[in-house]
Structure 1
Amino acid sequence: MLIVAFLFRETRMMSTKGVLGSPKPAKRVKLTSVEPTRDELLEERKKLPIFPAKGKLLQNVQQVSTAIIIGETGCGKTTQIPQFLYKAGMHRNHTIAITQPRRVAAISIAERVSKEMGTELGQTVGYCVRFEDVSCQATKIRFMTDGMLLRESTLDPLLKRYSFVILDEAHERTVHTDVLFGVVKGAQKRRRAKGLPQLKILVMSATMDVDQFSQYFDCAPVFYLEGRQYPIQVKYSVQSQSDYLFSALVAVMQIHQEAPLGQDILVFLTGQEEIESAVHTLRDIVKDVTKQYAPMIVCPMYAALPTGQQMRIFQPTPGGVRKVIVATNIAETSVTIPNIKFVVDTGMVKAKIFNPNSGLDMLKVCWVSKSQAWQRTGRAGREAPGTCYRLYTEEEFEQFSTNTIPEIQRCNLSSVILQLLALGISDIVHFDFMDKPRPEAILAALDQLVLLGAVEKQEKVQLTLLGRQLAAFPLDPRLSRVLLGAKEFDCLEEMLTVVSLLSVESVFHTPYNKRDTAHAARQKFISSEGDHLTLLNVYRAYKGVKGDKQWCQENFINARNMQTASQIRKQLREICVHLQLPFKSCGQNTGVIRKCLCHGFFTNAAELQHEGVYKTVASKKTVVIHPSSSLFMRKPGCVIYNELVQTSKCYMRNLSVVDPQWLYEAAPTYFKRKKTAN
Structure 2
Amino acid sequence: MQEEILQLVKNNQVVVLSGETGCGKTTQVPQFVMEQEVEAGRGSACHVVCTQPRRISAISVAQRVAQERGESLGHSVGYQIRLEAVKCRSRGSVMYCTTGIVLQMLQGDPLLSSVSHLVLDEIHERDTQSDFLIAITKDLLPKRPDLKLILMSATLNAEKFSEYYGGCPMIHIPGFTFPVTEYYLEDILDTIRFEFPPPKGKEPIWAQRRNKSSSEIISIISSQEASGAISRGAAYELRKPHSEELCPQLIVSLLRHICRQPPGAVLVFVPGWGDISTLNKLMDEDSFLRGQRLLVIPLHSLMPTANQREVFDHPPSGVRKVVLATNIAETSITIDDIVYVIDSGYIKMTNFDKSSNLSTLASEWVTKANAHQRRGRAGRVQAGVCYHLFTRIREQNLAEYPLPEILRTRLEEIVLNVKILKLGRALPFLQKLMQSPDEEVLKISIKLLEAINALDDDENLTPLGFHLARLPIDPLTGRMLLMSAFFSCVDPILTVAAVLSFKEPFVVPLGKEKLVDQVKARFAGNTYSDHLMYVRVFDSWREACDNRDNSFCYKNFLSTSVLQQIKRMRDQFFGLLKDHKFVAPEVRSGSDIEINLNSGNVAVVRAVIASGLYPNVACLKRTGKSSSKRPKIMRTADHNRVLFHPKCVNDKMQAFESPWMVFREKLKMSSVFLFDATNVPNYPLLLFGQRLEYVAAEGAIDVDGFVKIRCTEQVANVIRKLRKELDAVLEYKISHPDVSRWDQHSKEGKLLNAIVDLLSKEKIDPNQQYHPRYDVADDDDDEEMHEEYPSYT
Q: TM-score range by the shorter chain?
A: 0.7 to 0.9
% identical aligned pairs: 30
1:114 maps to: 66
1:425 maps to: 423
Deviation at 1:245, TM superposition (A): 4.2
SS class of match (1:109): helix
2:575 maps to: 574
Q: Structure 2: give runs of 5+ residues left out of the alignment.
A: 187-237, 584-594, 624-630, 693-701, 708-783, 785-793
1:82 maps to: 30
Distance in 1, matches of 2:259 and 2:58, equals 39
RMSD of aligned C-alpha atoms? 2.5
Distance in 1, matches of 2:88 and 2:182, equals 47
Q: 1:442 to 1:566 in 2, by over 3 A?
A: same
Partners of 2:344 and 2:388 within 8 A in 1: yes
Q: What whole-Å deviation, never above 9, does each CA across 1:590-648 have from its counterpart, x for those lacking one?
A: 12222222223223222222578434424215221122221112254221222234443
Deviation at 1:336, TM superposition (A): 1.9
Deviation at 1:567, TM superposition (A): 0.9
Partners of 1:251 and 1:344 within 8 A in 2: no
What amino acid does structure 2 have at the position aligned with 1:203? L
Partners of 2:615 and 2:689 within 8 A in 1: no
2:611 maps to: 599
Q: Does 1:617 align with 2:633?
A: no
SS class of match (2:664): strand
Distance in 1, matches of 2:639 and 2:310, equals 45
Q: 1:224 to 1:307 in 2, by over 3 A?
A: closer
SS class of match (2:355): coil
Select the residue among 479, 490, 493 that pairs with 2:491: 493
Distance in 2, matches of 1:295 and 1:135, equals 41
Farther-moved stretch of structure 1 (100-109 vs 238-247) = 238-247
SS class of match (1:454): coil
Q: 1:312 to 1:463 in 2, by over 3 A?
A: closer
2:598 maps to: 586
Deviation at 1:315, TM superposition (A): 3.4
SS class of match (2:311): helix
**1:247-266 equivalence runs, <5 A:** 247-256=249-258, 258-260=260-262, 262-266=263-267
User: Higher relative contact order by CA 8 Å / sep ≥ 6: 1 or 2?
Assistant: 1
Q: Does 1:558 align with 2:559?
A: yes
2:143 maps to: 190
2:678 maps to: 656
Farther-moved stretch of structure 1 (666-675 vs 348-357) = 666-675
2:456 maps to: 456
Q: 1:618 to 1:350 in 2, by over 3 A?
A: farther
Q: Does 1:125 align with 2:73?
A: no
With structure 1 as the length reference, what TM-score do the two structures score?
0.85
Distance in 1, matches of 2:103 and 2:561, equals 27
1:441 maps to: 441
Q: What whole-Å deviation, never above 9, does each CA across 1:45-103 have from its counterpart, x for those lacking one?
A: xxxxxxxx222221121111100011222221111111111111166614211111111
Structure number with greater Rg is: 2
1:14 maps to: none
Distance in 1, matches of 2:481 and 2:306, equals 33
Select the residue among 74, 82, 96 that pairs with 1:143: 96
1:375 maps to: 373
Farther-moved stretch of structure 1 (98-107 vs 84-93) = 84-93
Q: Structure 1: give runs of 5+ residues left out of the alignment.
A: 1-52, 193-197
SS class of match (1:545): helix
Deviation at 1:649, TM superposition (A): 2.7
Deviation at 1:447, TM superposition (A): 0.8
Partners of 1:70 and 1:205 within 8 A in 2: yes
Q: 1:489 to 1:614 in 2, by over 3 A?
A: farther
What amino acid does structure 2 have at the position aligned with 1:56? E
Distance in 2, matches of 1:609 and 1:199, equals 59
Q: What whole-Å deviation, never above 9, does each CA across 1:16-64 have from its counterpart, x for those lacking one?
A: xxxxxxxxxxxxxxxxxxxxxxxxxxxxxxxxxxxxx222221121111
What amino acid does structure 2 have at the position aligned with 1:385? A
The size of the alignment, in residue pairs, is 614
Farther-moved stretch of structure 1 (312-321 vs 440-449) = 312-321
SS class of match (1:297): strand
Q: 1:244 to 1:86 in 2, by over 3 A?
A: same
Q: Does 1:641 align with 2:663?
A: yes
Q: Does 1:227 align with 2:175?
A: yes
Partners of 1:608 and 1:638 within 8 A in 2: yes
2:530 maps to: 531
1:270 maps to: 271
Partners of 1:296 and 1:324 within 8 A in 2: yes
What amino acid does structure 2 have at the position aligned with 1:534? M
Distance in 2, matches of 1:284 and 1:399, equals 36
Q: 1:166 to 1:585 in 2, by over 3 A?
A: farther
Q: 1:649 to 1:259 in 2, by over 3 A?
A: farther
Q: What whole-Å deviation, never above 9, does each CA across 1:445-470 have from its counterpart, x for those lacking one?
A: 11111112111122xx2111111111
Distance in 1, matches of 2:247 and 2:321, equals 18
Distance in 2, matches of 1:236 and 1:610, equals 51
What amino acid does structure 1 have at the position aligned with 2:620? L
Distance in 2, matches of 1:71 and 1:92, equals 30
Partners of 2:361 and 2:667 within 8 A in 1: yes
1:12 maps to: none
Q: 1:439 to 1:550 in 2, by over 3 A?
A: same
What amino acid does structure 1 have at the position aligned with 2:251? L
What amino acid does structure 2 have at the position aligned with 1:617? T
Partners of 2:244 and 2:390 within 8 A in 1: no
Distance in 2, matches of 1:449 and 1:208, equals 38
Distance in 1, matches of 2:457 and 2:267, equals 51
Distance in 1, matches of 2:54 and 2:289, equals 39
Deviation at 1:540, TM superposition (A): 0.3
Deviation at 1:211, TM superposition (A): 1.8
Distance in 1, matches of 2:335 and 2:289, equals 28
Q: 1:253 to 1:124 in 2, by over 3 A?
A: closer
Distance in 2, matches of 1:544 and 1:73, equals 45
Partners of 1:169 and 1:206 within 8 A in 2: yes
Q: Does 1:627 align with 2:671?
A: no
Distance in 2, matches of 1:393 and 1:618, equals 44
Partners of 2:122 and 2:332 within 8 A in 1: no
Deviation at 1:229, TM superposition (A): 3.1
Partners of 2:411 and 2:441 within 8 A in 1: yes
Distance in 2, matches of 1:622 and 1:393, equals 37
What amino acid does structure 2 have at the position aligned with 1:560? S
1:392 maps to: 390
Distance in 2, matches of 1:318 and 1:128, equals 32
Farther-moved stretch of structure 1 (318-327 vs 405-414) = 318-327
Farther-moved stretch of structure 1 (446-455 vs 484-493) = 484-493
Distance in 2, matches of 1:248 and 1:586, equals 56
